[in-house]
Amino acid sequence: MGNSKSGPSNKSTGADATTGAAAATTDAPPVSIISTDFSKDYQLKREIGSGYTAKCYICHEKKTRKFYACKVVDKKKLRMKSGKNPKLFKRLVAEIEICKAVRHPNIVQVYKVYENANKVFIVMDLMSGGELFDHIIDRGRLDETEAIAIVRKLCDAINYLHERDIIHRDLKPENILLKRPNNIDDIRIIDFGMSKVFEKGSSAHGAIAKTYSLLGTPGYMAPEIMKSESYTKAVDMWALGVVTYVLLCGYMPFDETHGAKTRWAMDFPREEWDTISGAARDFVEQLLTVNPNKRMTSAGALKHMWLTPQTGKATSKPLPSPKRLRKNKKSAFSFDDVPASSTKDEAPASSKTVE
């Protein structure tokens, strides 16, 4: 399908039915904790986000008087919801363990985790600048040199994860935040609730187990996920390609109705792309390659001429604003597992979540 010039549905599909039976919630490993007494070290302040199983607050560290974000997970509600999706608690544990293990300037950092009988408290970076694309819309527009700097940071963060065999699996504009208001030089990738560490495979991207379910956000999911094929780290590079395309021209490369039978035809309308460098277009094309084995890797992307400062391939003309994305933004959803016998193009009904 061609360009929709409109924003996608931002529903995250959280079905992760890799080969093998999912473990029951009660069999999930314990959350690695520092202490059970969160209130001894921190004080919750203003609520800044909420969902059925979790709420996010600004919190204040009593000793240093510094402010952080704190995700508070209600274990009872999580277990109730896990009756429909047994992997929810394991996904929370995986998110915590991944975030505690990574240290990169463009990835949100988890500092401490507390757990008591009723709740889990996850203390992390406070991202007070909001979403990157919201900032760009409010500001008006970027130029291509600024877009290069942003994409280079994202690519470096993804490469850091891929070197450690971590796949994010839900890279999208809503998961790219500013550390401070009006500062696009300090961006962080957030939300590792769908991430996973996988064993290395034989392909350039490292093969993983076959999945029979949708996972991610429509519009940013790679073709191999939509077709329920085995997938690799390359799914993150496809998502980066979509994000880069939107950053450059202001709209999606494909509309949100794409599915397993989509031809994934992409074009570059002259109205916007005539003012964008050929190097930028080549970068996007190498990321939005349907065959994952031919798709550019994170290491390859960092060496691409568009991201290489000394090449001077960027144009100086302002880029179109991605304001269509704000107009079409919708709440995130998490889908239950899709059985192998289900129709691959269809996703089951779901309930709203904030994970």
Closest CA to 197 of 93, 294, 269: 93
Measured on CA atoms in the order 66, 67, 68, 70, is the torsion positive or negative?
A: positive
Token representation of residue 346: 């269809």
Among the listed residues 170, 191, 236, 336, the single catalytic one is 170
- The 10 Å CB-count burial string (b at 16+, else e) for 1-19 is eebbeebbbbbbbbbbbbe
- The 10 Å CB-count burial string (b at 16+, else e) for 27-60 is ebeebeeeeeebeebbeeeeeeeebebbbbbbbb
CA of 260: how far to CAs of 229, 263, 291, 325, 336, in Å? Answer: 10, 9, 14, 24, 19
Token representation of residue 297: 């890797």
Q: Establish whether 170 is a catalytic residue.
A: yes
Residue 128 identity: S
Cα 244 to chain center, whole Å? 14
Quick check: 99 and 82 in contact, CB under 8 A?
A: no
Which residue is associated with the tokens 């390359």? Answer: 234
Which residue is associated with the tokens 């009006």? Answer: 182
By annotation, the residues acting in catalysis are 170
